[in-house]
């Protein structure tokens, strides 16, 4: 590093200018998302290695782990041996030993006789000579220093094809002191002491240059806390800003309006539904916008609760937007609303992406004049020409299929609407605190009474023919069935999963070159060869809206007895007479998706069957299929799905603006996450704009690391 660059060095310095890097290695570091000195400092080891005790040559014992240090007195490369090997003779004041690397030709230019090195591994004996085969090693400047550092460990870094872990470690160690000198502490001494955290500088030094295993644990805890705290602080600031800077229409409930709303439902609401309605009403009565997550398992009655909230807003002469991720689900919601409101004076409309021309202009005009009370739609509701006059409530179904910034768009032009998120995918606690951390959570824990039992069985694919007979026997009793496939057509490599809001995890041929069945081809086969006497329908995301709508109408009415489909039926489709769900290639679906598909049956009073046909080619698919067979509990399934797949894949956290975690683990660090959330929300309440002097480091870190991603273009 030249003098000028050294004088300007800080943690934003391009990694290229660090000692031992240069342009070529800088390109390799870019592949590892390391662009600056600060990125390199946070390129954390994947593990640590502690050398065995340092031993003199005359103390070496066969089959014991040992570290040796000495001078290279002989180096030979045996190119003709099989396999080729490199051998070094190492000498200290008490004797000699041999170091052997099979296929070690790549190391020939690393050693020169006369060099001092240290090496460690398992000691073996060849004839009369003690040796260590394929040892790990480092160069030594001062042999005496080895005794001083005994007990210290070394970091093992994630490598890439063009740079080994050892090279990366050497580069980090070469600039570590310089990088550490620029580390700013984020919290005061009292804060650190009360939470038993080391300083950030200590933590970074210990993680890269561990003096002991105990210090690694302390360092990891501090660095994981920092990641979780910054994430939660971003969420907390967004929440505080929305609540403090935006006012909402206060929509209070009274006995008269409550009775008017309940008269529209032809049944008594459950205890769980009444509990969450009370929570929602308390939120909507305030002048701060409600931000509430309504979660409940499939079929638990969330739609009725959301409609109650919508009618509360309408009863106070305000407008409501209901947004769903697919046209099928939007139509389903609209039909449910029609069912309850067909004799009411509430004005409602369905706004879909395919709606154009005069009809669309007419609906937009009615929305802008405040003449429509409830508008149901897809992402078409987010378009710039949709302008509500008095929007007071937004209901979004399956929020995890929308990005964070989309929720901002529909918040209204003057006062902010209240915001109710619904999800039938139960949220594990850790994700509720992160992906949905700016929302209060209401949970419907129990299904309404009178629902039939749903049982799940997992079979090998060869058992499909007996399943067809099982389906036939139940259809003769007046029941209906779904048969679901992971893709639309054989020649396509991808499913229409953007419409369905999810995708099977893989689209490659199965083990042994198994052909992956597809909906269109199987529909032809099933309708002509297997069930020629039955009415078989087809539904997938590539069909136009009119055909999809007609197919679902026919299935609900019983005119279709077997519906062959893709995951486009994953959410919202409600046909109480459907009692059988067959899922082919079930190993290709995630746990949450399998649970959602299973939720399409068991909507009525009869017993239902979910039949999974799959080959579990991996440990993960085996785990998923076992869990599905053992439990119907959506919350337990969600926790297991988080463990198996991780938060990023499970809920697409990238679209929520949440950062990738480098060292924290949302599953293992739940207690740390709780502490970080508590601390972050306390800071956000006290200093919403992070203006105080003590929070300036946090403000800079938040802007530098997350920028716009958490909706904090400028928290100041």
Q: Rank 53-57, 328-332, 631-635 by mean pLDDT and report only the highest.
A: 53-57
The phi and psi torsions of 69 (rounded to 5 degrees) equal: -140, 140
- High-pLDDT (> 90) share of the chain, %: 48
* Confidence band for 573, pLDDT divided at 50, 70 and 90: low
Distance from C-alpha of 214 to C-alpha of 153, rounded to nearest angstrom = 11
Distance from C-alpha of 566 to C-alpha of 573, rounded to nearest angstrom = 13
Tell me the pLDDT tens digit for each residue of 691-712.
898 899 998 888 877 665 544 4
Which is more confidently placed, 506 or 16? 16
* The token pair that represents 11 in the structure block: 């943690």
Angle at 533 between CA 527 and CA 535, to 5 degrees: 55
Q: What is the mean pLDDT of residues 534-552?
A: 88
What's the confidence (pLDDT) of residue 496?
39
What's the confidence (pLDDT) of residue 509?
38
What's the confidence (pLDDT) of residue 354?
72
Q: Is the peptide bond before 106 cis (omega within 30 degrees of 0)?
A: no
| CATH number at 461-614 | 3.40.50.300
- Tokens 């360092």 — which residue? 219
* Confidence band for 632, pLDDT divided at 50, 70 and 90: confident
Does 403 have pLDDT greater than 50?
no
H helical segments located in 385-453:
404-409, 429-432
What's the confidence (pLDDT) of residue 571?
56
Q: What is the mean pLDDT of residues 620-638?
A: 86
Mean pLDDT score across all residues of the chain: 84
* The token pair that represents 560 in the structure block: 């279709």
Nearest to 351, CA basis, from 334, 335, 371:
334
| CATH number at 52-150 | 2.40.50.140
What's the confidence (pLDDT) of residue 82?
87
What's the confidence (pLDDT) of residue 5?
47
Which is more confidently placed, 425 or 541? 541
- Tokens 């600060």 — which residue? 38
Distance from C-alpha of 92 to C-alpha of 113, rounded to nearest angstrom = 14
Within 290-334, strands assigned E span: 291-296, 319-323
* Confidence band for 570, pLDDT divided at 50, 70 and 90: low
* Confidence band for 415, pLDDT divided at 50, 70 and 90: confident
Q: What is the mean pLDDT of residues 517-541?
A: 92
The answer as to CATH 3.90.1720.10 being correct for domain 255-285+301-423 is no
What's the confidence (pLDDT) of residue 235?
85
Q: What is the mean pLDDT of residues 100-127?
A: 91
Q: What is the mean pLDDT of residues 171-185?
A: 94
Does 326 have pLDDT greater than 90?
no
CATH 2.40.50.140 domain position(s) in the chain: 52-150
Tell me the pLDDT tens digit for each residue of 242-297.
777 778 899 999 999 999 999 999 889 999 999 999 999 999 999 988 989 898 87
Does 654 have pLDDT greater than 90?
no
What's the confidence (pLDDT) of residue 229?
94
Q: What is the mean pLDDT of residues 643-653?
A: 56
DSSP 636-689: HHHHHHHHHH-HHHHHTGGGGTPPPPSS--TTTTHHHHHHHHHHHHHHHHH-TT
Distance from C-alpha of 472 to C-alpha of 526, rounded to nearest angstrom = 12
Tell me the pLDDT tens digit for each residue of 342-360.
889 999 999 987 777 888 9
- High-pLDDT (> 70) share of the chain, %: 87
Q: What is the mean pLDDT of residues 494-516?
A: 41
Half-sphere exposure of 527 (CA within 13 A, CB side): 15
Q: Is 619 exposed, middle or buried (0-12, 13-18, 19+ CB in 10 A)?
A: exposed
What's the confidence (pLDDT) of residue 702?
87
CATH 3.40.50.300 domain position(s) in the chain: 255-285+301-423, 461-614
Q: How far is CA 317 from each of CA 67, 257, 278, 286, 311, rounded to the nearest angstrom?
A: 80, 12, 20, 16, 10
Tell me the pLDDT tens digit for each residue of 444-491.
888 777 777 899 999 998 889 999 999 999 999 999 999 999 888 765
What's the confidence (pLDDT) of residue 705?
72
Entry pTM? 0.69
Q: What is the mean pLDDT of residues 517-543?
A: 91
**Three-state secondary-structure class, residue 449:** coil
| Residue 583: count of CB within 10 angstroms of its CB | 26
């Amino acid at each position: 590093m030249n003098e000028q660059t050294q004088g300007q060095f800080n943690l934003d310095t391009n990694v290229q200018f660090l000692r031992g890097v240069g342009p070529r290695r800088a390109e390799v570091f870019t592949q590892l998302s390391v662009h600056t000195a600060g990125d390199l400092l946070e390129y954390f080891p994947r593990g640590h290695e502690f050398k065995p005790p340092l031993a003199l040559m005359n103390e070496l014992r066969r089959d014991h782990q040992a570290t040796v240090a000495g001078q290279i007195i002989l180096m030979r490369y045996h190119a003709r041996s099989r396999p080729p090997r490199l051998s070094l003779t190492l000498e200290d004041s008490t004797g000699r030993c041999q170091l052997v690397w099979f296929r070690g030709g790549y190391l020939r230019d690393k050693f020169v006789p006369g060099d001092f090195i240290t090496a460690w591994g398992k000691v073996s004996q060849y004839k009369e000579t003690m040796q260590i085969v394929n040892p790990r090693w480092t160069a030594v400047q001062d042999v005496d220093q080895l005794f001083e550092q005994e007990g210290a460990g070394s970091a093992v870094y994630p490598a890439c094809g063009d740079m080994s872990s050892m090279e990366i470690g050497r580069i980090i160690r070469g600039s570590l002191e310089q990088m550490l000198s620029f580390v700013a502490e984020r919290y005061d001494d009292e804060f650190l002491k009360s939470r038993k955290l080391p300083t950030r500088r200590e933590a970074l030094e210990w993680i890269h240059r561990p003096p002991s295993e105990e210090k690694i644990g302390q360092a990891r805890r501090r660095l994981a806390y920092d990641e979780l705290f910054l994430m939660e602080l971003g969420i907390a600031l967004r929440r505080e800003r929305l609540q403090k800077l935006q006012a909402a229409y206060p929509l209070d409930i009274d006995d008269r309006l409550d009775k008017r709303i309940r008269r529209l439902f032809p049944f008594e609401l459950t205890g769980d539904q009444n509990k969450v309605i009370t929570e929602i009403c308390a939120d909507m009565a305030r002048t701060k916008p409600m931000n509430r997550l309504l979660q409940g398992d499939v079929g638990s009655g969330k739609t009725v609760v959301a409609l109650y909230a919508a009618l509360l807003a309408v009863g106070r002469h305000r407008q409501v937007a209901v947004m769903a991720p697919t046209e099928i689900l939007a139509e389903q919601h609209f039909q449910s609303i029609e069912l309850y409101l067909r004799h009411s004076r509430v004005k409602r409309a369905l706004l879909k992406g395919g709606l154009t021309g005069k009809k669309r202009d007419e609906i937009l005009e009615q929305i802008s004049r405040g003449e429509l009370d409830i508008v149901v739609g897809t992402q078409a509701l987010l378009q710039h020409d949709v302008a509500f006059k008095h929007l007071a409530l937004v209901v979004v179904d399956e929020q995890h299929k929308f990005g964070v910034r989309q929720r901002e768009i529909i918040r209204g032009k003057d006062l902010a609407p209240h915001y109710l998120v619904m999800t039938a995918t139960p949220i594990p606690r850790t994700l509720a605190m992160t992906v949905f951390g700016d929302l209060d959570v209401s949970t419907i824990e129990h299904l309404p009474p009178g629902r039939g039992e749903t049982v799940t069985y997992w079979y090998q694919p060869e058992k499909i023919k007996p399943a067809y007979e099982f389906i036939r026997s139940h259809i003769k009793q007046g029941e209906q069935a779904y048969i679901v496939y992971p893709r639309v057509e054989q020649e396509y490599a991808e499913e229409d999963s953007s419409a369905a809001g999810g995708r099977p995890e893989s689209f490659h041929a199965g083990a042994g070159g198994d052909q992956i069945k597809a909906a269109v081809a199987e529909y032809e086969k099933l309708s002509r060869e297997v069930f020629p006497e039955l009415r078989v329908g087809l539904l997938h995301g590539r069909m136009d809206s009119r055909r999809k709508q007609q197919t679902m109408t026919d299935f609900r009415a019983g005119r279709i007895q077997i519906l062959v489909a893709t995951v486009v039926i994953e959410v919202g489709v409600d046909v109480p007479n459907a009692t059988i769900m067959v899922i082919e290639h079930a190993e290709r679906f995630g746990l949450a998706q399998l649970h959602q598909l299973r939720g399409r049956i068991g909507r009525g009073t009869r017993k239902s069957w979910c039949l999974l046909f799959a080959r579990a080619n991996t440990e993960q698919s085996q785990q998923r299929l076992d869990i599905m067979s053992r439990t119907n509990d959506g919350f337990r399934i969600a926790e297991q799905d988080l463990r198996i797949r991780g938060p990023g894949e499970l809920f697409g956290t990238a679209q929520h603006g949440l950062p990738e975690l480098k060292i924290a683990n949302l599953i293992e660090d739940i207690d740390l996450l709780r502490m970080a959330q508590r601390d972050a929300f306390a800071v956000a309440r006290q200093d919403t704009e992070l203006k105080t002097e003590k929070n300036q480091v946090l403000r800079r870190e938040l802007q530098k690391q997350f920028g716009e991603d958490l909706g904090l273009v400028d928290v100041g």
